[in-house]
């Protein structure tokens, strides 16, 4: 659920197939004209990108770390780049967001 703390109001709720959300990050780059939120769950190895304006899934990256659990997820500030990490394979991956 996304909650506006200032006004104590629920904005909207999303449901992920893989279970509870463990990580969340927001795209701050404005060059794409998108409002994206990236999430990863505690139970799966996928990354889901949500379009906050349309309130639906924009893209899903299935098993970006070969099915291993994702331990960290963060958009680079003011850049269309998402960085994910997995402790299981000791890797960092960078994902460039492009509007197609």
pLDDT given at position 28: 94
Mean pLDDT of 60-78: 91
Q: What is the pTM of this model?
A: 0.85
- The 10s digit of each residue's pLDDT in 7-54 is 999 988 887 777 778 899 999 998 888 899 999 976 678 999 999 999
Instruction: Output the pLDDT for position 79.
Output: 94
Are 67 and 37 in contact, with CB atoms under 8 Å apart? no
Average pLDDT over residues 57-74: 90
What strand order describes the sheet that includes 91-96?
Answer: 72-75, 81-86, 91-96
Residue 97's Cβ-side half-sphere holds a number of Cα atoms within 13 Å equal to 30
Position 2 scores a pLDDT of 84
Say what the pLDDT of residue 93 is: 95
């Amino acid at each position: 659920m996304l909650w506006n703390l200032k006004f104590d109001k629920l904005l909207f709720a999303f449901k992920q197939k893989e279970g509870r959300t463990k990580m969340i990050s927001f795209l701050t780059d404005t060059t794409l004209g998108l409002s994206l939120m990236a999430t990863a769950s505690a139970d799966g190895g996928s990354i889901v990108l949500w379009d906050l304006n349309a309130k639906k899934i924009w893209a899903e990256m299935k098993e970006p770390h070969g099915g291993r659990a994702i331990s960290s997820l963060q958009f680079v500030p003011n850049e269309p780049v998402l960085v994910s990490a997995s402790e299981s394979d000791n890797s960092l991956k960078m994902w460039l967001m492009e509007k197609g």
